[in-house]
Amino acid sequence: METKYIFVTGGVVSSLGKGIISSSLARLLLSRGYRVTIQKFDPYINIDPGTLNPYEHGECYVTVDGHEADLDLGHYERFTDIKTTRANNMTTGRIFQSVIDKERRGDYLGKTVQIIPHITDEIKRSVKSLGNTGKYDFVITEIGGTVGDIESTPFLEAVRQLKWELGKNALSVHLTYVPYLKAAKELKTKPTQHSVKELQAIGIQPDILILRTEKDIPPAMRRKVAQFCNVAPEAVIQSLDAPTIYKVPQMMHEQGLDNLVLQLTGTESIGEPDHAAWNEFLHKLDTATETVTIGLVGKYVELQDAYKSINESLMQAATYCNRKLNLVYIHSEKLTNSNVDEKLKGMDGVVIAPGFGQRGIEGKFVALKWCRDHDVPTFGICLGMQCMVIEYARNVLGLEDANSTEMDPNTSHNVIDLMEEQKSVSNMGGTMRLGAYECKLKKGSIPAKAYGKEIVSERHRHRFEFNDDYRERFEEAGLECVGVNPETGLVEVVQVPALRWFVGTQYHPEYQSTVLNPNPLFMSFIRAAISDKK
Ligand code: GLN
């Protein structure tokens, strides 16, 4: 069949959940047996979000091929099990860079290079590059930002042109907001009407409207929206606030979103959707009564999105262990020897978060010492693993000023050091050790048992590494290197076997944990946290 292109745009306000709607639609189409991929266009000038701090843009997600990507790609993967790559995330920066490179090469010789047609052509080329592989029945393209943003204009113009060129093979799904005015006790559709007008003024007639709302929207109100916006009444769908984002596919299916997409694109149905595995997960989520309490020690505790993939991985693993996750954020900057007991004593397990820089680092050492002393299951991820090594060096090996050269370039015990290949790097963008690398696990170690195999592949994002010169001293003192890169010997996983579950990974297992395939190491961690529960 010809590839169908679905464009998801948003209006009225941001944060309505375009990523979740796009992921849910992808999930529904996949469940029906179609070949689907999903991509995100971000209208900012950064080449990628790798140089943005979490306050700006939440977590930076990493794809298998080492692209630092928008966190929506994390949702895409968690909902669909699709392995995204750099082709699934474009920014204005990359589009412009590519056009400017072509201009310098002389590809447009003699012509004035302009937003239309050159930038828009480049956007269109990017949109279609996945579809042109012939590997997909559906390409879902989410356009970041909201209609009316100056930044999104070239993207929306490209969508307008594509809709015109592709006819029935293109579909516009527009997500808007229907606010509830408490004082008036009324839902208001006017912002939606305005948003659709804005989209129509650009030349895009939406085919499907999804209305994000806190309250049930009565059918008469939906008909009114349909009438005002030139959309069929059955194509006005509501997206009610859900107790969990993982219910959204079901909610969309019940309102016929997937059917509608097939109908409007003239796609033949190839069978009934199979939601069995997904529903089983939802059932577990609904029926768990006992909880598991996990403390997440990090410095971005006030930001829900900063540790998105870790939160989701913990939640998925807890669900499969029939537990509700009670995630407690513990601010590493505020953690001291005098309050650590009070802050950590109720935890069944503790995660030491990834991160960069000095801020909040001492609190992570305080937490780690407490966890070791109390033998609480502890999971160090990336910087968290590096902190495990530093704390062990200071308090067990007796190397008082042990540190990472990231925090103290002059430390006399650089137990964590800049990787050799990083020493010549001066550019900050996209230059870390990124993406999937193999790791060989030691037989009998916790991770080897968890994965049930000795060679695994996980994703990375770091510049510093365990300093091999100290390996023997650590191992003699009880901290073992139980996972290494088979080619370079770089230490990927450490474990203290004398403790029940004390594991640190240089890699980020949270980037490879999905609803249908939770990451084995998170599963093992949660199991330990539960079994240790007194
Ligand atoms: N800052 C550390 C490094 O660059 C850890 C990075 C991380 O936690 N992602 O190696």
Q: Give me the average pLDDT of each 10-residue run along the chain (534 residues).
A: 96 89 96 96 91 86 95 95 95 96 94 96 96 95 94 96 96 96 93 96 97 95 94 95 94 96 94 91 95 96 89 97 96 96 96 94 97 97 98 97 96 95 88 95 97 97 96 97 96 97 98 97 97 62
- For ligand 1, the distance from its centroid to the CA atom of residue 432, given in whole angstroms, is 9
What's residue 303's pLDDT? 82
Dihedral over Cα of 257, 23, 52, 87: its sign: negative
User: Is 48 in a helix, a strand, or coil?
Assistant: coil
Q: Kindly state the helix (H) or strand (E) to which residue 173 belongs, with its residue range.
A: strand 170-178
Which ligand 1 atom sits nearest the alpha carbon of residue 416?
10
- Best probe residue, ligand 1, of 51, 414, 461, 492 (max atoms within 8 Å of C-beta): 461
The pair of three-digit structure tokens given for residue 302, joined into one six-digit string: 């006030």
Residue 510 is among the residues annotated as catalytic for this protein: yes
DSSP string, 480-513: EEEEE-TTT--EEEEE-TTSSSEEEESSBGGGG-
Strand 416-418 versus strand 464-466 pairing type: antiparallel
pLDDT of residue 532: 62
Q: What is the pLDDT of residue 534?
A: 45
Ligand 1 center from residue 462 Cα (angstroms): 4
356 CA closest ligand 1 atom index: 1
User: For residue 275, with 0-12 CB atoms within 10 Å meaning exposed, 13-18 middle and 19 or more buried, which class applies?
Assistant: middle
Closest atom of ligand 1 to 355 CA is 8
Residue 508 annotated among the catalytic residues of the structure: yes
Pocket of ligand 1 (CB under 6 A): 354-356, 382-383, 406, 461-464
Return the pLDDT at 505. 98
**First and final C-alpha spacing in the chain:** 57
Amino acid 273 reads: P
Catalytic residue among 60, 382, 387, 481: 382
405 Cα to the center of ligand 1, angstroms: 12
Q: Catalytic: which of 174, 460, 462, 508?
A: 508
Half-sphere exposure of 289 (CA within 13 A, CB side): 0
The contacts of residue 137 (CB under 8 Å, 6+ apart) are: 1, 3, 4, 29, 34, 35, 36, 267
From 309, 382, 437, 491, the mutation candidate for ligand 1 (largest count of ligand atoms within 8 A of CB) is: 382
Least Cα distance to 286 among 249, 333, 334, 319 occurs for 319
